[in-house]
Every structure is written in C-alpha cells, then in structure tokens.
C-alpha cells in the first residue's frame, strides 16, 4: 500500500517537474534547509531554557515567540519537503535513515503536544525535543548518502 502510494507520488507531475527542472529541486532544497534552520534554532533555544539554562529568562517570555517561529518554519519545511520527497519517493520510502527522520519528526511533534498540555517535567521535554530535532537534522542530511 505504502509502496504503491510512493510509486504514484514518484510518477506524479510534481515529481517529474522536480526531477526535470534545473532550478526547482535546488530551490526547494534551499528553502527546506532555511526552514529547518529557523525551526531547530527557535526550538533549541526554548529547549535549553526548559532544561534549565538562562534561568533569568522567563519561559513565558520566550515560549510564544519560539513556538510561533517554529510553527511557520515547520510549514515551510513540509511544503518544501513534499516535492523533494516526491522526486525520489520510491527510494526514500525504502531508506532506513529517511524513515528514522520521519519517526523522529513524529516523536518531536508528540513531545511538543504533551509539553503544551502540561504533561510531565519541562526539563525532560526539552531534552527529548533536542534529541529528536538533532536526529531529524542529521538523518535529513545523511538520507541522501544512503
Ligand atoms: C518539519 C521538519 C523538517 C525538518 C527540520 C527537516 C530538516 C531537513 C534537513 C536539515 C535536511 C538536510 C538538508 C541539507 O543539508 O541538504 C533535510 C533534507 C530533506 N528533507 Fe527534510 N525536514 C523536515 C521535514 C521534511 C518532510 C515533511 C519531508 C517530506 C516528506 C522532508 C523531506 C526531505 C528530503 C527529501 C530531504 C533530502 C533533500 C536533498 O538533499 O536532496 N523533510 N530535511
């Protein structure tokens, strides 16, 4: 089922355009890495505060801005990531490093939801979040080498 969906995505007009255009894929990859930089940069600052650094900065002062930047950046990552994924869907869906990235993305999202619902220790959320986003970034980079 997933294989068929990946094959359909791989054969789509978007995927063919992304593979055939000299500028589109590099442009999407550039936007993607910019989105990733803003997302992980904003979240890392909040996570370090939650872990206990910079106690002079109130979490309530930092969190709204960090979350807003992260949400916009995540939308940019998803929107730019889809054509990148479509272009190589058949191989990426069978790529364990790329699948690790998607699992880490899901864990990071679940952890953020639990944190915003006030479940559990903020420091633990900060540490889990840092670990997940570091995995997303490194797996995102290494996936193309596998
Ligand atoms: C939402 C958070 C996301 C973050 C923080 C993120 C982060 C990254 C990073 C850091 C890279 C390596 C970029 C480089 O150095 O070239 C990357 C590559 C990639 N990402 Fe994401 N990503 C995210 C979501 C997605 C999604 C949802 C998809 C598609 C389903 C996706 C598909 C890809 C692909 C295909 C590559 C390889 C691009 C290439 O170099 O050819 N990403 N991602």
Q: Does the beta carbon of 99 lie inside 6 Å of ligand 1?
A: no
pLDDT at res. 86: 97
Write down the pTM of the prediction: 0.93
Kindly report the protein residue whose alpha carbon is nearest to atom 12 of ligand 1.
141
- For ligand 1, atom 27, name the residue with the nearest CA: 78
Answer for the pair 132, 108: CB distance below 8 angstroms, yes or no. yes
Measure 32 CA to ligand 1 centroid, in angstroms. 6
Any ligand 1 atom below 6 A from CB of 137 = yes
pLDDT score of 44: 98
- Label residues 94-112 b or e (16+ Cβ within 10 Å = b): ebebbebbbebbebbeebb
Q: Per residue of the chain (146 residues), what is the pLDDT tens digit?
A: 888 999 999 999 999 999 999 999 999 999 999 999 999 999 999 999 999 999 999 999 999 999 999 999 999 999 999 999 999 999 999 999 999 999 999 999 999 999 999 887 899 999 999 999 999 999 999 999 98
Ligand 1 within 6 A of 44 CB? no
């Amino acid at each position: 089922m997933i294989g068929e969906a990946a094959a359909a995505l791989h054969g789509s007009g978007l995927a063919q355009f992304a593979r055939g255009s000299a500028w589109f894929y590099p442009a999407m990859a550039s936007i993607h890495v910019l989105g990733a930089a803003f997302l992980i940069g904003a979240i890392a600052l909040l996570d370090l505060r939650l872990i206990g650094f910079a106690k002079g900065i109130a979490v309530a002062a930092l969190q709204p801005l960090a979350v807003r930047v992260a949400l916009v950046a995540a939308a940019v990552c998803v929107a730019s990531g889809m054509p990148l994924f479509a272009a190589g869907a058949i191989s990426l869906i069978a790529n364990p490093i790329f699948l690790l990235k998607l699992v880490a993305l899901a864990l990071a999202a679940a952890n953020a939801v639990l944190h915003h619902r006030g479940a559990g220790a903020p420091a633990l959320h900060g540490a889990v979040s840092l670990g997940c986003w570091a995995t997303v970034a490194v797996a995102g980079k290494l996936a193309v080498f596998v």
